Structure 1
Amino acid sequence: MTRVATRSMCAFLLLLAAGSALHQSPAAPAGAAAADDGIHKIKHVIVIMQENRSFDSYFGTFPGADGIAMRDGEPTACVPDPGTGECVRPYHDSNDEDTGGPHGAKAADRDIDGGKMDGFIAVMRQAAETGGCPTNIPTCVVKGHERSVMGYHTSAELPNYWTYARDFVLQDHMFEPVRSWSLPAHLYMVSEWAASCATIGDPMSCKPERTYFNPTDFPRDLFEPGSPQAPGRPDYPWTDLTYLLHARNVSWAYYVMDGFEPDCTNDQSSCRLRPQSARTPGIWNPLPSFTDVKHDGQLGNIKDTSRFFGDVRAGKLPAVAWLAPGNRYSEHPPGRISAGQDYVTGIVNAVMRSPYWNSTAIFLSWDDWGGFYDHVAPPDLNFFGYGLRVPGLVISAYARKGFIDHQMLSHDAYVKFIEDDFLNGERLDPKTDGRPDPRKNVAENAPQLGDLRNEFDFSQPPRPPVILPGGIGPPYKPGYTGEP
C-alpha cells in the first residue's frame, strides 16, 4: 500500500471511530431494558424494504423452511379457480417479470379466506373482469394471467437472495405488520401505527382504520402531481421512532431513490407511476409528512439513495438507516426481480467492503405479499391482525450461519431491535412521548412478537463478508418498471 493510500485509510478509520462514538446510545432511562447480551456490537442497523412478494413466491422451496408442501416433487396444495372449476397447484415460474395480484386490505381478506389461504385466483379473476391494470403500463397484464400468482421462484432466478439465506439468516414466519397495502406497511416501519386523523395536526383525533388504507379510499389529492393539496397534507401527526432517536442523539437517515413509485388505484395488480424523491412525500417515503420530523428539524435526514454510498465511503453511515427503492428496482410487479436483486446486492456489497461490516446488521424484507400465493395463515385473523407472510433475511457478521428462524415476526421486530440496541430497550410511549396519541400500546410490545437477537451469535468472531456478483449502485436508471 502506498503512503498516500495508508494515510487515507488511517484517516478513514479515525473518522469511522469518531462517528461510532457519536452513535453510542445514552444511559438507559429508569425502568428500561436489560442486560447486554452482545447486541451493542451492532453499531449500525440498515433496513432495506423491497416490494410485493410473498414468502412462498421467493422461498417456498428453500430447504428446511416452512414452504410449499411437496409429495414426490409436486406441490400438494391446490387453490380453486372459480373461472374454470379446477384447482391450481403452485408451479415454478422462471420469468423475470411477474404480473402480481391485487394487494389492498380487501384483497388480503379474500386471499386469506378465514385462514384457508385459497382466495388468490378468485381475487385475480375479479381483477381481470374489473380492470386490474392502468392503461399506461403496457407490461401489466391480468386477463389471461389469473393463475400467475401461484408461481414461485427458486435459486435459479434468485441466486443472491438464496445465497444470503444459506450463509446468514432466513425468517420464514415474517408477516406484514398490517393486513393492507404499501403505505400502511411503510408507516408501521417508522412509527408502529397507521391511522386516519379527523383533524389535521391533531394526533388525538387519529384512529386505526384499515379500510381507509385501501387504495381506492385514500384521498386522491395526496398523490396527484400538480393537484391542489390542503395545507399540511398528507398529515401524520402521531409520534414516530425518529422522535426517540433524535431525543437520544442516535443518528438516522431515510434514503429514497430518485425516480418513481407506483400509485395504486382500484386495488390494481400494478399501478401508474408518480415521481419519487427525498423531498417528495409518498407511499414509500412517508417521513416528510410526520409532524415530529418537521418540528425536530430532521427533514435533512431524508436523503437520495446515492448519498448512502457516499456516507459509507466517507465514514458517515448513521446508526439507523432505512432504504426505499425506486420503482425499477423495487420488485413491484411487473418489475424485474433481477433488477431488485442487483440493487440490494449493491447495497450489501458496499457495506461488506467497508469497515462498517463488522458492526452492522442488515434487515431485508418486502412490504407486502403483492397478491402472490402463500400457504401460511397470519397468526391473527381479526380485522387489524398481521398481514400475509413476506420474505425476511438478516445479513450480518454476527448472524448465525444458515439459520432459519421460525419465530413469529413482523416488521415491528426491526423497531424492537433498534430500541433494544440504541435506546437500551426504551419503548415509544404514545401517552407521553412527542405528540401523544390514543394508542394503548406500541406494536413491538405484542407478546407473540419474536426477538431478532435470537438470530445472532455475538460470541463468535465477526464472520468474513460474502461479496456476490451482480451488485449495482448509482447512478441508477430512472423510469418505468419493466423497461430494459
Structure 2
Amino acid sequence: MATTPKSVSAHSRRHFLGLAATATGTAAAATLLPPSLLDAVARGRPAGSLRDVEHVVVLMQENRSFDHYFGTLRGVRGFADNSAKPGVFDQDGVRPFLARDAANRGDLSVEYLASLPHSWPDGHQALNEGHCDGWVGAKGTATMAAYDRRDIAFQFALAETFTVCDGYFSSCPTSTSPNRNFLFSGASGFEPSGTRAVGNDAYESTHPGYTWKTYAESLHEAGVDWRVYQEWDNYTDNNLDFFATFRTLGRAAVEAAGERGGDLTGFYEDLLEASDVDEQRQRAQRVHDGAARIGGGLTDLYRRGLYRGEPGSLVSRFRRDVESDELPTVSWIVASSADSEHPSASSPIQSSTLTYRLLDALASNPRVWAKTAVLLTFDEFDGYFDHVVPPLPPEGEPDEWWDGKPMGLGFRVPMTIISPWTVGGRVSSEVFDHTSVVRLLERVTGVDCPNISKWRRRVCGDLLSAFDFGRSDGLRLPARPGPVPSFEKRWEAKPGGSHPVQETERAVALPTPYRLSAVVVDGVLHLRNDGSRPAVFGVFYDGRVEHHTVRGRRRVQLASITDHVVVTGPDRFLCDLRFPRNGSSADVTLDHTSRRIRVDGRDVTATAVTDGWYEVSLTGPAGRQYYTGRLENGRPTATSPLRAD
C-alpha cells in the first residue's frame, strides 16, 4: 500500500460491513479460533518430517510492529525485556502506553488507530544507526501506542496456540513495496532510474516494472504449483504486479480487452469506481479473456499470479481448492484494503474475520490441514514502536547498503506459524526476516532463489527451527467470545495511562543457534559466538554504535577514553559494562553446554541461572556490570522468567 494512505473504497466499506455482520452472527468469530481449527489441534499428529509439508500458505498483512501487537504477550521479548538496550523504552520522555488508555480516546474504538509515517527517511530517523532512539521525532508520540489481549484477542489466541516468532524482523526500515519485494523475490533491487527501490515508486502507472526475477517465476519454471489469491481490490499488495514480466502481461491483457487504465492496477482502480455491478463483472471478464487470447505460458502466469476475483470471492475460492485437495504447493494470500489490517484502511478485527475464515476453510479438510503450514506475518511496522535493535550489516556489505544507510533489517513485526507442527504456544527467538519465508519455500520445493544476499543467508534462518516434526497427542483449548466494534473514525493516540504490563506466564522457548558472550580485557572488547549461525552484535560506546556479524571470535579495539560499553544481540543477549579506562570487565565465563556460569573463578550458577536464562549484576570500582541472556544447549526450555528493572 502506498506511503500516502488511500481511502477505503465504497466496495471495501460494503465488504467490511458484511464480514462484521457475519462475525457477530457466529458468536463474534473475529475473537474466536474456528471450531474446525480447535478440533484439528486436538487430533494431534504422527511423527513426520519436512517432506510432510506439501502446502505453504503465506498471508502477509499490513503495518504492525511486534511491540505494538505482542509487547504484553506472555513469554515473548516484549515490554518486560530485561535485555532491552538501556533507555530504549523512553523515547524523548514518552514511554509505551496502552491505546485503550490514550488521553484522547473517549468513546472511540481502540481498533481504529490511524496510520503513522512509514517511509525510508523516517524509518532511518527512528533507527538512528541502531540507537533506536528516534521514534517520537520521526513518527510522533502516537508511535508508543500498544495493544493488549483485551484489544486483539484473536491474534493472541493464535500466538498462544501455535508458534510466535519474537525475532522476526521486517526486511527494510521503510514502506510496503520494498518489504513485499523481499517477500516475493528475496530482494529489493534498483529502480529503472538507478536508485535503490526503498519507496513505493512502483505504484506509479508509468513504472516499467522491476527486471530481476521473482520467486514465483522460479517456481513456474520448475513446474511447482503456485497461486496468488486476491480480489479486484488488492490494496496494491501483490508485488508481482510491479515486476516487468507481470506488468507487461497485465498491460497486454488490459489492451487486448480494449479497456482503459493502462496497467492492471489502474484498470481495477477505475473498475471499483463504477456503480453497476454487472458492468464491473463484464469489464473484469473482458480482461481475463484478453489474457486468455495472449496464449501459451503467459496466460498461465496471468491465471496464477494476476487473476483477481470479484469482491468477497477470495475465501470461497481458497475453500474450494482446499475441499477438492487442489491447494497449490505455494499460496500467497493478498487481502483487500478493508481486510488488510492496515491502520489507514482496516483494523485488527476486520483482518481477524478474513484470517478466521481462511483457517476455518483449511481446517475443515483434515487431510489438507495435516500437510499445510500457514505463515501469518506483516510487511512492515507502520510508524509503531519496537524496542529491539535490528541486526544491521557491516558498512559496505554488498547488496545491503544504499545512500550511506543499511537496507535492513527493519524493525520486528509479528510472525505466527500455524500448522500441525507448530502447536503448543511456543516462542522462537531465532533471527528471521521476509527472506526467511522464501528460504522455507526453498526447503519445501527444492527451488532456489538467486536474489537473497549472502549476508541475509548467513544471519537469518529459514524458519525450519520453529517446526516440531515429532509426534503430538493434541491439545484442547478454550475459546473466548467478544464484541465487534462499529467504525466511527480513525484517530492518533495521545500518551496516557501507565506503562503496559507484560503477562507473567511462561511458554516453551525453542532452541536458537547462538552461544554468545562478551568481555572487555585491557580496553579490548572480545565478542564471541560459538553457535552454528552468525549473530549480529550491536556495540554502543562513546556515543557511537557499531554492528558486528560474528561467528567465532571478534576483537573490537575501544578508545582510550572508553569506560562504558553496551552490547546487544539476539535471543535476549545484553552486556552493560562499566570498567576502568583501558581496563577490564569482570571475568564472566559462560558454559552453554552445562548451563553454568563462573564469575572471577567462582561458580554462581545456583543464584544466577533459571531454566538456562541467566542474569548477573556486579558492582565494582567503575560501577555496575550487567549480563543477561540464554545459555543455549540446543534443548527447548521455558521462556525467560526475568523481568525488566
**Shorter-chain TM-score category?**
0.5 to 0.7
Amino acid at match of 1:114: E
Distance 2:334 2:476 in 1: 23
- d(CA) in 2 for partners of 1:186, 1:158: 24
Letter in 1 for 2:97: Y
Offset of residue 37 of structure 1:
7.7
Once superposed, what is the RMSD of the aligned Cα atoms? 3.1
Aligned to 1:149, what secondary structure does the other structure show? helix
2:478 & 2:55 partners in 1: Cα distance? 19
* Conservation of the 8 A alpha-carbon contact between 1:237 and 1:290: yes
Q: Please, which moves more after superposition, 289-298 or 113-122?
A: 289-298
- Say if 1:103 and 1:187 are closer, same or farther in 2 by CA, change over 3 A: same
The equivalent of 2:573 in structure 1 is none
Of 380, 384, 387, the residue aligned with 2:392 is: 380
Q: Equivalent of 1:340, from 332, 344, 351?
A: 351
**Whole-Å Cα distance in 1 between the matches of residues 456 and 125 of structure 2?**
28
**Residues 56-109 of structure 1: CA distance to partner in whole angstroms, max 9, x if unpaired?**
0000011111111379xxx9854344xxxxx11101123111123211111110
Residue 449 of structure 1 and its aligned partner are, at CA, apart by 0.9
The percentage of counterpart residues that share the same residue type is 25
Kindly provide the amino acid, as one letter, of the partner of residue 329 in structure 2.
A
Does the 8 Å CA contact 1:336/1:482 hold for their aligned counterparts?
Answer: no
State yes or no: 1:318 paired with 2:328: yes
Which of 445, 448, 452 is equivalent to 1:427? 448
Q: Classify 1:468/1:191 alpha carbon distance in 2 versus 1 (closer, same or farther; 3 Å).
A: farther
How far apart in 2 are the matches of 1:77 and 1:46?
35
Map Cα deviations across residues 168-189 of structure 1 (whole Å, 9 max, x no partner): 1000011111222101111111
How big is the shift at 1:164?
A: 1.3
The superposition leaves residues 4-39 of structure 1 with CA deviations (integer Å, 9 ceiling, x where unpaired) of: xxxxxxxxxxxxxxxxxxxxxxxxxxxxxxxx9811
Name whichever of 396-405 and 189-198 sits farther off.
Answer: 189-198
> Where does the alignment leave 5 or more consecutive residues of structure 2 unmatched?
1-46, 101-109, 250-296, 394-404, 492-645
List aligned pairs for 1:353-368, cutoff 5 A: 353-354=364-365, 355-368=367-380
The answer to whether the Cα contact below 8 Å between 1:68 and 1:77 also exists between their aligned partners in 2 is: no
One of 299, 302, 321 as aligned partner of 2:302: 299
Separation in structure 1 between the aligned mates of residue 440 and residue 144 of structure 2, nearest angstrom: 33
Following superposition, the deviation at residue 373 of structure 1 comes to: 0.7
Q: Does 1:104 align with 2:57?
A: no
- Aligned position for 1:140: none
Whether 1:349 aligns to 2:366 is no
In structure 1, distance between residues paired with 2:210 and 2:424: 40
Give CA deviations for 1:142-165 in whole Å, capped at 9, x if unaligned: xxxx42221111111111211111
Equivalence map 1:146-157=2 (5 Å): 146-157=140-151
1:218-251 deviation line (CA, Å, top 9, x unaligned): 26742xxxxxx4xxx4412211111221122211
* Equivalent residues, number: 359
The residue number in structure 1 matching 2:464 is: 453
Aligned with residue 396 of structure 1, among 396, 415, 419:
419
Q: Deviations over 1:122-145 (max 9, x none)?
A: 123xxxxxxxxxxxxxxxxxxxxx
**What TM-score do you get using the length of structure 2 for normalisation?**
0.51
- Classify 1:41/1:213 alpha carbon distance in 2 versus 1 (closer, same or farther; 3 Å): same
Deviations 1:231-285 (A, max 9, x none): xx44122111112211222110111233362xxxxxxxxxxxxxxxxxxxx3x12
Q: 1:214 to 1:244 in 2, by over 3 A?
A: closer
Normalising by the residue count of structure 1, what TM-score does the alignment of the two structures yield? 0.68
Kept after mapping to 1: 8 A contact 2:234/2:334: no
Partner of 1:92: 98
Quickly say closer, same or farther: Cα 1:221–1:363, change in 2 above 3 A. closer
Match of 2:176 among 159, 182, 185: 182
Q: CA deviation at 1:465?
A: 9.1
- Work out the CA distance in 2 between the residues paired with 1:114 and 1:197: 24
For 2:241 and 2:359, how far apart are their aligned partners in 1?
26
Give 1:442 deviation, angstroms: 4.1
Give the conservation status (yes or no) of the 8 Å contact 1:260–1:480. no
Partner SS for 2:341? coil
Deviation at 1:444, TM superposition (A): 8.8
> What displacement does 1:197 show?
4.1
Deviation of 1:196 after TM superposition, in Å, equals 2.7
* Distance in 1 between residues matched to 2:171 and 2:462, nearest whole Å: 15
Name which of 239, 242, 251 aligns with 1:286.
239
Q: Distance in 2 between matches of 1:258 and 1:372?
A: 29
Q: Is contact 2:160-2:425 (8 Å) kept?
A: yes
* Equivalent of residue 118 in structure 1, options 106, 121, 133: 133
For the 8 Å contact 1:192–1:412, the answer to whether it is kept is: yes
Counting only pairs closer than 5 Å after superposition, residues 57-76 of structure 1 correspond to structure 2 as 57-69=68-80
SS of equivalent to 1:390:
coil
Asked if structure 2 preserves the Cα contact closer than 8 Å seen for 1:49 and 1:364, the reply is yes
1:288 is aligned with what amino acid? Answer: D
Which residue type is aligned with residue 420 of structure 2? A
The structure with the larger Rg is 2
Q: Deviations over 1:280-327 (max 9, x none)?
A: xx3x12213434555654110134324223222332211100111111
> Which residues of structure 1 form unaligned runs of 5+?
1-35, 82-86, 125-145, 200-206, 223-228, 262-281, 431-440, 472-478
Of the three residues 158, 165, 168, the one matched with 1:171 is 165
